[in-house]
């Protein structure tokens, strides 16, 4: 077996070799750390980019929902406002009709109802010999007298129930094929449209 001859201090040689190995290990560790940091940094940037993209998408979706909700609420408010306006206009016109009804005078108003009954009878006689008169609550007593004492070409019977309306009545044949509206709201419809426009202007400008 050959002998190995070492020149110099063997401890110094060992120390130098150990330092070289340590330097090599440190270098490898530094390289590995740098590589790991680069990988982590790239992953972090990708994650942040995805997070930013997700946040932007969520914000856009939220904004769209808010806009849609706002549009619905604004539409509901417009409808509510329109309904309120129409309600007050109807109240104003109905009040005007009630005052008209009270100012005409009983005799003139009775003659008015009688004339409408005659018109209804002339229209219905072509298709039927009898019909039912549905009175408004305000005119039930007057119509009861008129229907009972009138001499008309059609036999009218007063209905037991009242219908909605400021005044007047509705006539219908028993088979329901003909229905005539002689309530004040219908008879004065053209005038009422003008009254509604005037009421809207007076109430809301």
pLDDT range class, residue 162, cuts 50, 70, 90: very high
| Res. 161: pLDDT tops 80 | yes
Q: Is 166 exposed, middle or buried (0-12, 13-18, 19+ CB in 10 A)?
A: buried
Report the pLDDT averaged over residues 52-80.
79
Q: pLDDT digit string (tens) for 104-154?
A: 678 888 888 999 999 999 999 888 889 999 999 989 999 999 987 767 888
Alpha-carbon span 22 to 169, nearest angstrom: 113
Q: For the chain, give the percent of residues with pLDDT over 90.
A: 22
User: CA nearest 192: which of 102, 101, 93, 104?
Assistant: 93
pLDDT confidence of residue 194? 60
| Choice between 184 and 100, residue whose per-residue pLDDT is larger | 184
């Amino acid at each position: 077996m050959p002998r190995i001859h070492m020149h110099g201090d063997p401890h110094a040689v060992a120390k130098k070799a150990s330092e070289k190995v340590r330097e090599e290990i440190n270098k490898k560790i530094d390289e590995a750390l740098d590589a790991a940091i680069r990988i982590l940094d790239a992953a972090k940037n990708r994650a942040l980019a995805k997070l930013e993209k997700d946040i932007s998408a969520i914000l856009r979706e939220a904004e769209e929902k808010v806009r849609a909700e706002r549009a619905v609420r604004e539409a509901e408010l417009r409808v509510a406002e329109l309904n309120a306006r129409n309600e007050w206009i109807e109240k104003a016109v109905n009040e005007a009709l009630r005052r008209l009804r009270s100012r005409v005078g009983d005799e003139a108003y009775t003659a008015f109802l009688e004339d409408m009954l005659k018109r209804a009878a002339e229209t219905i006689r072509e298709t039927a010999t009898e019909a039912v008169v549905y009175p408004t609550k305000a005119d039930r007593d007057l119509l009861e007298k008129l229907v009972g004492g009138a001499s008309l070409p059609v036999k009218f019977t007063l209905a037991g129930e009242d219908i909605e309306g400021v005044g007047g009545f509705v006539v219908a044949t028993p088979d329901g094929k003909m229905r005539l509206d002689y309530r004040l709201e219908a008879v004065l419809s053209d005038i009422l449209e003008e009254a509604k426009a005037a009421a809207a202007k007076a109430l809301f400008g």
